[in-house]
């Protein structure tokens, strides 16, 4: 199975900060990576697919990059609505498809 | 507009079999490329993909739980059912069903989730 490792596990930031979350795959997954945002008590919301393709309706302050085994999610200017937990998910080839352990973005 | 809704018991005893139903609308599970998956999340923990059923009735399971899981679909009712045998307290989690984006196994629409507690 492909293991996905996110860092950091928790990130303390302020409104307006630039935030970067890293996701590493245990083997190459090309660009087959998605990012989700999850707020407390809610279902995950899809943000980015194919490592860098922003889903329609997602604010442009979110961006993704990377390929192979290392990926990043960047929020260019953190907004109050962005405090949440973020998960990466690899969907390379056939199953199993795996998620990272999550990164919680909290208020500093 | 795609929507999904999970239903099932909120409390189940250890060793019992869990049956969860996902009722969806806004898409057809007979259309090529479509799939519905199940993902769970123990309290305070990460997401874990469990199973996926494709439009052609092909199925995939996470290896660690493969022997305990069965996923089926009823296209006429727009439902997908997940059964998990021999439930244990460690299986306490919120269980989500989700729509697989056609051709790629990421999930673009999710149900609200249902919390299943395993306790005697």
User: CB burial class (10 A; 0-12, 13-18, 19+) of residue B10?
Assistant: exposed
Residues of B in contact with A97 (CB under 8 A): 49, 52, 105-106
> In Å, how far is A30's CA from the nearest CA of chain B?
13
Mean pLDDT of A80-91: 98
> In Å, how far is A43's CA from the nearest CA of chain B?
5
Q: Which residues contact B26 (CB under 8 A, 6 or more apart)?
A: B1, B2, B3, B109
Q: What is the pLDDT of residue B102?
A: 85
Distance (Å) of CA B103 to CA A43, A87, B50, B55, B87: 22, 21, 19, 11, 32
**Statement: residue A14 has pLDDT above 90:** yes
pLDDT > 90 in chain B, percent = 98
CA B119 remoteness from chain centre: 20
> For residues A91 and B10, what is the distance between their CA atoms, to the nearest angstrom?
30
A64 touching chain B per CB within 8 A: no
């Amino acid at each position: 199975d492909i293991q996905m490792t996110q860092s950091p596990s928790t990130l303390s930031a302020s409104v307006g900060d630039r935030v970067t979350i890293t996701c590493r795959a245990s083997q190459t997954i090309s660009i087959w990576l998605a990012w989700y945002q999850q707020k407390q008590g809610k279902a995950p919301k899809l943000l980015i697919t194919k490592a860098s393709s922003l889903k329609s309706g997602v604010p442009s302050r979110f961006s993704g990059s990377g390929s192979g085994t290392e990926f990043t999610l960047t929020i260019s200017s953190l907004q109050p609505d962005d405090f949440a937990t973020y998960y990466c998910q690899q969907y390379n080839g056939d199953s199993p498809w795996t998620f990272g352990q999550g990164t919680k973005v909290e208020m500093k | 507009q795609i929507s999904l809704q999970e239903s099932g018991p909120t409390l189940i005893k250890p060793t019992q079999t869990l049956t969860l139903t996902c009722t969806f609308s806004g898409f057809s599970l007979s259309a090529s490329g479509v799939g519905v998956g199940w993902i769970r999340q123990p309290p305070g923990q990460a997401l874990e993909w469990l199973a996926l059923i494709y439009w052609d009735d092909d199925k995939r399971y996470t290896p660690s739980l493969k022997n305990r899981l069965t996923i089926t679909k009823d296209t006429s009712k727009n439902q997908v059912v997940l059964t998990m045998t021999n439930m244990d307290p460690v299986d306490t989690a919120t269980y989500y069903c989700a729509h697989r984006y056609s051709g790629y196994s990421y999930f673009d629409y999710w149900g609200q989730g249902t919390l299943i507690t395993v306790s005697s």
